[in-house]
Amino acid sequence: MLAWTGLGVLVFGMLAALPFLVEHGYEASDETNDASIYVATARALLAGDGYSYLGEPFIVRPPGFAVMLAGVMRVFGDSAFVMNLFVSSWGVLACALLYVFGVKRIGAPLAFLCSAALFLHPEFRRMSNQVMSDVPGLALVLACLLVERWASSRRSWRRDLVLAVVIGASGYVRTLALLVIPATLLGRWFARAEGERLIGAFLRTRAVLLVAGVVVCVAPWSVRCMLRHPVPPVDQTFLYSYGTGMWHERPYDPESPVVSPARVLGRAAERVEPLVTSLPWVVNARPEASDDAADESTDWVAVAFGALLLASTAWLCVERRRAGEFFALLTVLLLLVYFAFRPRLVLPLQALLPVLFIEAGLAMTQRAWSRAGRGVAVVFSALIVARGVHGFAAGVRDGGSNTLRGASYTAAASVLRPRLGEERVASAIGWHWSVYLDRPVWSLALAARRGGASAVQAVLARHRIDTVVLADALPEDRALVPLLTRLWGEPDRVGDVSVFRRR
């Protein structure tokens, strides 16, 4: 009864606060480049152009989030508030599912504190107002882990089939959810019955249906990528596909040399510190800080706290051997060798590890110091809630530059929109421009970085670009003004925007 009451209070409080927490503006920052591509692909779906970006098949990521976003846009329009409300609603679901995940592990009061802390944390609030799949992905990962717990509680092929469908469907929104498969198999292997000691018997009774079900779910996407894909190398996205980014020298060209296993494993040395320091968001004011900021000193408090979270999770893995702990450790291993680590990728760990840490602490003190251990757990949970409330009240977020950039896009777009006819338009980075101008906008900066002036000229010719817009307020736009001036002559000035037209 207490658990259900806590869930009701938590959900009611989050829903009551939500109208005051959803932002009306669209965040256009380096952290939300993918958001503008999600919007563009959703618009393509609504226009009947299929899952495509700028007229080419899009295979960087599965279409799940874009399909859901297209549904929202079809019914409610594509205002920034509506899209932010959609993602924020997933945030409410994620916190509710975290509570359900934690109740059986650490009890209702502590699970409530952990979920409330996540909901209030300023970085989670910021991510809940970004049109990205991170927050929906967290909710789906937690849903997969809860369905796994239900499926493992009583053996049934029907339950395994439901789990396979949930994991497969979640993988279309956030591919990280597919890690629940090996996590589940590891948990089942250590909990296998005496008659399943042989690997053949285990695979037949506990693994084949689950794996086959997920394969059937994701196979259509894989087949589609083989049959419909852009011509490499791509010049409008950083990646050709995630596989290319992970295993090839040039992430935009699948025909480039394959990266050696030694180099892939060598990424771990560079990732350890940013990964570990990103885990304990309770002590971090800016978990979204870039991992390549060379001038930043090491935050040893965050290192110690992150190491403690990982150690407690590893201990719990050895002691309890369940899918939740295995999923957390597998996620850590993946991020250590991932080709493009960003702190935002750690969100599932930031949600799960405090719960696992508290559970480990309670388990360690269960015999001799059960009362003291629960007291320490309560204090820790209260501290993370206090940290979330303090950060929320202080507005700890990197909002200033993003607000300024969004205002620059809005002002420039309002002037440009009536002056642009049927021209094919490009800019330095076209992703955000396409949202504000409500039209396809190609990018030139990627070609400039890869091949200089000749590569930019090739992109202009390949995509038959007539007009290039570069805003004074945007650094990446300003950097291309000299090059475009040499290629096409002096620009027209429209407010604070340079408009270059093909002569």
**Residue 315: how many other CB atoms lie within 10 Å:** 17
For 427-451, write each residue's pLDDT tens digit: 999 999 999 999 999 999 999 888 8
**Backbone φ and ψ of 184, nearest 5°:** -65, -45
For 288-310, write each residue's pLDDT tens digit: 444 444 445 677 778 888 888 89
Q: Distance from CA of residue 249 to its chain's centroid? A: 23
Domains of the chain, by residue range, sit at: 1-132, 262-364, 400-501
Nearest to 83 by CA among 23, 138, 37, 32: 23
CA distance 403 to 357: 36
SS3 letters for 260-293?
A: CHHHHHHHHHHHHHHHHHHCCCCCCCCCCCCCCC
- pLDDT, residue 389, reads 58
The arithmetic mean of pLDDT across residues 95-120, rounded, is: 94
Whether the Cβ atoms of residue 239 and residue 189 lie closer than 8 Å to each other: no
- pLDDT, residue 198, reads 79
Q: Residue 377's pLDDT band (boundaries 50, 70, 90)? A: low
- For 475, half-sphere exposure in the C-beta direction (CA atoms, 13 angstrom radius) is 4
Q: Cα-Cα-Cα-Cα dihedral of 102, 107, 109, 113, to 10°?
A: -30
Peptide bond preceding 343: is omega within 30 degrees of 0, i.e. cis?
no
Q: Does pLDDT of 356 surpass 60?
A: yes
- pLDDT, residue 285, reads 46
With a CB cutoff of 8 Å and minimum separation 6, the contacts of 121 are 281, 387, 388, 391, 392
The arithmetic mean of pLDDT across residues 252-256, rounded, is: 94
The arithmetic mean of pLDDT across residues 1-29, rounded, is: 91
Q: Which residues does residue 470 pair with via DSSP β-bridges, in sequence order?
A: 498
**Residue 271: how many other CB atoms lie within 10 Å:** 17
With a CB cutoff of 8 Å and minimum separation 6, the contacts of 498 are 469, 470, 471, 472, 477, 481, 484, 491, 492
Q: Does pLDDT of 326 surpass 50?
A: yes
CA distance 166 to 66: 18
The arithmetic mean of pLDDT across residues 91-118, rounded, is: 94
- For 408, half-sphere exposure in the C-beta direction (CA atoms, 13 angstrom radius) is 20
- For 298-339, the DSSP string reads P-HHHHHHHHHHHHHHHHHHHHH--HHHHHHHHHHHHHHH-S
**Residue 5: how many other CB atoms lie within 10 Å:** 11
Q: Which long-range contacts (CB under 8 A, 24 or more apart) does 148-154 make?
A: 148/180, 148/183, 148/184, 148/187, 148/323, 149/104, 149/322, 149/323, 149/324, 152/184, 152/187, 152/188, 152/191, 152/323
Question: What residue spans of 172-260 are helical by DSSP H?
Answer: 180-190, 199-202, 208-227, 242-247
CA distance 115 to 111: 6
* pTM across the whole model: 0.91
For 226-253, write each residue's pLDDT tens digit: 999 999 999 999 999 999 999 999 999 9
Q: Which amino acid is at 438?
A: D
Range in 102-116, 194-208, 443-457 the model is least confident about: 194-208
If 0-12 CB within 10 Å is exposed, 13-18 middle and 19+ buried, where does residue 158 land?
Answer: exposed
